[in-house]
Structure formats: structure tokens, C-alpha cells
Structure 1
């Protein structure tokens, strides 16, 4: 397994775990309170910060491994392919958040739609990269 494929796996795991913890914390409050009463900003910022720090830490730890930093044409192509796949998902999610804004939804839903768009971008791009490494590109 190449360094870039390992990196895609780590990115996918972080992009899958952190939002689930955030969702359990924030959406668990919906049973007891209305959307306007839920304090979601701090947990959202903490989730984003934790994901960023976890990725930086993982990158640093993986950078010490053999083969880190060496990318060939195949790695570059797979990275571009995965990133492009994620961009489509991110654009659709941003359009969805824009529609929520135009429809007058609460900030809670708009912010979470944007966060979901970024999470799905990370997951789709990582999965596309992993599939490309496993099945060929």
C-alpha cells in the first residue's frame, strides 16, 4: 500500500468518525429542545478543529514513514480524480445550503448542511481515491 493510499484511508476514517460524534452530541439535543435553542456553534467549531488537528497529526506521523513524499504520475492522477469527485459533492451540498437559505430555514440547518457537504466531500474524495488504488486507475 502506497503512502498516498494510506493517507486516503486515514482521511476517510477521520472524516467518518468526527462528524458522527458531532451528530450524536448535537442532534441528540433535538429531542429536548427546539432548533432555535440548540447551541451548535461551539460543537461544530470543535469538530472542525479536531478533524484538522487529527489530519495534521496523522500527516506528521505518516510523514516519518518510508515512502512519504514520493508521488508518481499514478498518485497525481488518482489525487486529481478523487478531488474532482469530491468537488461535485461539495458543489451540490453548497447549492443545497443556498436553497435552505433562500427558503428561510434556521441557521442551524444551513450550517449543518454546509458541514455535511464538506464531510461528504472528504468521504467521497477519499473513497474514490481508495477505489482507484484498489481497482486501478
Structure 2
């Protein structure tokens, strides 16, 4: 497994776990009440910050465990990186458009913030899956 494939796995797993933790915290705080009344901002910021810190720590740990691993990128690595980024980028756009439409319709900030966060997570997850599949199999033929 290449260094970049390990990195894709780390980011994929951390994204899923961080979002799951956020959802659990928000649902527990709701305690059956309406979701827009839940204080979500701190949980959202902490899970995003925690995901960033966990990703950095895991990548440092990976480098410590295997310090001689090559970090050289070849043409295939660059192409897989571009492919994964393109796959994931669609959800960033979807999230931005959805947030814009929700704001124009006067939706509560809770829903707007959460749709943006969900789309960022979906972007990271789909990009990670695309990269891992491309490393395991091959890039799709266009």
C-alpha cells in the first residue's frame, strides 16, 4: 500500500467517524425536541477541528511507523489524486448551491450549516473511496 493510499484511507475513516460523532452529539442534545433549537455550533467546530487534528496525528503516526516509506509521487499517483478530487468536488458545489437556495428561501441557519457540513463530508468520503478504488483496481477509462 502506497503512502498516498494510506493517506486516503486515513482521511476517509476520520471523516466518517467525525461526522458520526457530530450527529450523535446533536441528536443527544435534541433529546426529542426540534433540531434547529439544538446548540450545534460548538459541536460542529470541535468535530471539524478534531478531524483535522486526528488526520494530522494519524499521518504523523504512519510516518513514524514506517519512516523509510517513499513519498515520491509518480504520474499514476497524481492522476489518482486528481480523479479523487474531481469525484469529491461535485458535493462541494452541491452543498454551496443547496446552502444558497436554503438561505434565499429563509431556512433556519441550523439546516444551512448542516447541509454544508454534510456535503463537505460526502465530498471527502467520495474522494477517498474513489482514490482507494483507483489504487486497488485502476483508473476508469474515459
TM-score, reference length from structure 2: 0.90
- Aligned with 2:39: secondary structure? coil
> How big is each residue's C-alpha offset from its partner over 1:97-129, in whole Å with a ceiling of 9 and x where there is no partner?
111111111110000111111101110100000
Partner residue, 2:35: 35
Partner residue, 1:131: 133
- Give the drift of 1:3: 1.0
Q: Distance in 1 between matches of 2:93 and 2:36?
A: 27
Tell whether the 8 Å contact from 2:84 to 2:126 is kept in structure 1 after alignment: yes
- Aligned with 2:55: secondary structure? helix
Q: Distance in 1 between matches of 2:15 and 2:60?
A: 17
The alignment status of 1:95 with 2:97, answered yes or no, reads: yes
The alignment status of 1:55 with 2:55, answered yes or no, reads: yes
- Give the drift of 1:67: 2.0
Number of residue pairs matched by the alignment: 137
Partner residue, 1:120: 122
> How big is each residue's C-alpha offset from its partner over 1:35-80, in whole Å with a ceiling of 9 and x where there is no partner?
3421000000000000000111112122332324221111111001
Deviates more, 1:99-108 or 1:24-33: 24-33
Tell whether the 8 Å contact from 1:86 to 1:120 is kept in structure 2 after alignment: yes
Deviates more, 1:6-15 or 1:66-75: 66-75
Q: Structure 2: any 5+ residue segments left out of the alignment?
A: none
The alignment status of 1:73 with 2:83, answered yes or no, reads: no
RMSD: 1.4
